[in-house]
Structure 1
Amino acid sequence: MLYLLIALICLLIVGSIFYYNSLVIKKNRMKEAWSGIDVYLKKRYELIPNLIETVKGYASHEQKLMQDLVRLRNEAIQSQANQDKINAENRLSENIGKLMFIAEGYPDLKANTNFQQLQTQLETIETEIEQSRRYYNGTVRENNIQVQSFPSNLVASLFGFQNGIFFEINNSTEREPVKVSF
């Protein structure tokens, strides 16, 4: 009976160590993935002022949008908490889309080499951000599964491991299918 009790205690200790280490790995993967997103967001933050300056000369009457972009960029840069940064990024992305839509109405601007280069860089960065978001959301999913699953949820709650926050689209219009008409 004593051997059975000792074996059970050893099994609980080994299981707890296993789940703890697994939770630490998943938490660090989420941090790493968020760091990857952050790198691409910083690239986008650096690109936005150049894009605004290029568009300003052609679309001077769109001053409010330009000011909103600068304000949203600054909010996104200053956001510390993941959820705050996600919300700021969603608003910034929406306004960048508006800027690109406005640029469509200016053939001279679209033909401008500097604008074309900036637009290409922005498209590349947006693709990289999207890929990073996908990877980050995958790490959040894996973390959340383990934090919520039995018996690892016992170890997670004991040591304060928490669910991660998904990087989701908050703007419902971005979720709607694109309408194409000829």
Structure 2
Amino acid sequence: MNKGMKIAIIVIGILIIIGIPVSGYNQLVSLEQTTNSAASNIDTQLQRRSDLIPNLVNTVKGYAAQEKTIFTDIANARSKLAGATNVQEQATADTQLSGSLSRLLAIVENYPELKSNQNFRDLSVQLEGTENRIAIARQDYNTAVTNYNTKRRKFPINIISSIFGFQEKPLYKASEGAKDVPSVDFTK
């Protein structure tokens, strides 16, 4: 082998040795940013829902003033959601708020004149659309987290992720009891 060929092989080897870590690092940064963006999208949709709820509650209050406990439950769940500091707390508070909203909408069944109120119908449609957006945002977040966590665990990227402190991200999971159907008792 001539001297020029040896130098070319050495240069190519150095580029490969440098290129793999740089490329891996950049991929992790990109995936982490996608995950952060997806988490922010959940927050945005939860805030949208949270902003709609007072209008919905006030509309229902005019018709169902005696249903005070549900209004208190909704207010408490909204406060917990606003104060959530991590994904799991957010999921727990979100589940509580969803349960309270389900009970509120079940109460509405006792008030046919409320169901025909245009303001209530408009708010219900907006809330339903927001719930769908929240579900999609959660799916997008979990997809982004799965891609990120998978990439950071694969060899040789796992070495880079440990050197630069890329931590595992938690999936958005429903809290305990989220699968339970909320009970509605109209006898109280």
What's the TM-score, normalizing by structure 1?
Answer: 0.86
> What amino acid sits opposite 1:109 in the alignment?
L
SS of match in other structure, 2:179 = helix
- Is the 8 Å Cα contact of residues 169 and 175 (structure 1) preserved in structure 2? no
Higher helix proportion: 1
Residues 172, 88 of structure 1: CA spacing in aligned structure 2 closer, same or farther, 3 A cutoff? closer
- 1:107-150 CA distances to partner (integer Å, 9 max, x unpaired)? 12111111111101100111111111111111011001112222
Is residue 2:159 matched to residue 1:154?
yes
Identity %: 34
> What amino acid sits opposite 2:41 in the alignment?
G
CA shift, 1:105, in A, is 2.2
Residues 30, 108 of structure 1: CA spacing in aligned structure 2 closer, same or farther, 3 A cutoff? same
Query: Which 4+ residue blocks in structure 1 deviate beyond 4 angstroms?
Result: 1-10
> What amino acid sits opposite 1:36 in the alignment?
N
Residues 171, 81 of structure 1: CA spacing in aligned structure 2 closer, same or farther, 3 A cutoff? closer
Alignment of 1:118-129 (within 5 A): 118-129=123-134
> What amino acid sits opposite 1:13 in the alignment?
I
Is residue 2:142 matched to residue 1:137?
yes
Q: Write the distance in 1 (CA, Å) between the matches of 2:63 and 2:73.
A: 17
Which deviates more from structure 2 when the two are superposed, residues 118-127 or residues 61-70? Answer: 61-70
CA shift, 1:8, in A, is 5.5
Q: Which residue of 2 aligns with 1:45?
A: 50
Q: Write the distance in 2 (CA, Å) between the matches of 1:172 and 1:76.
A: 17
Q: Which residue of 2 aligns with 1:25?
A: 30
Structure 1 spans left out of the alignment, 5+ residues: 177-182
SS of match in other structure, 2:121 = helix
Is residue 2:78 matched to residue 1:77?
no
CA shift, 1:61, in A, is 2.5
CA shift, 1:67, in A, is 0.5
**Of the candidates 96, 102, 105, which is equivalent to residue 100 of structure 1?**
105
Residues 173, 165 of structure 1: CA spacing in aligned structure 2 closer, same or farther, 3 A cutoff? closer
CA shift, 1:29, in A, is 0.2
- Is the 8 Å Cα contact of residues 151 and 157 (structure 2) preserved in structure 1? yes
SS of match in other structure, 2:56 = helix
- 1:149-182 CA distances to partner (integer Å, 9 max, x unpaired)? 2221111111111122212222555389xxxxxx
**Of the candidates 58, 67, 71, which is equivalent to residue 62 of structure 1?**
67
Q: Which residue of 1 aligns with 2:186?
A: none
Structure 2 spans left out of the alignment, 5+ residues: 1-5, 182-188
> What amino acid sits opposite 1:155 in the alignment?
I
Q: Which residue of 2 aligns with 1:179?
A: none
Q: Write the distance in 1 (CA, Å) between the matches of 2:168 and 2:177.
A: 24
Higher Rg of the two aligned structures: 2
- Is the 8 Å Cα contact of residues 79 and 85 (structure 1) preserved in structure 2? yes
The total of aligned residue pairs comes to 176
Q: Which residue of 2 aligns with 1:180?
A: none
Q: Cα RMSD between the aligned structures?
A: 2.3
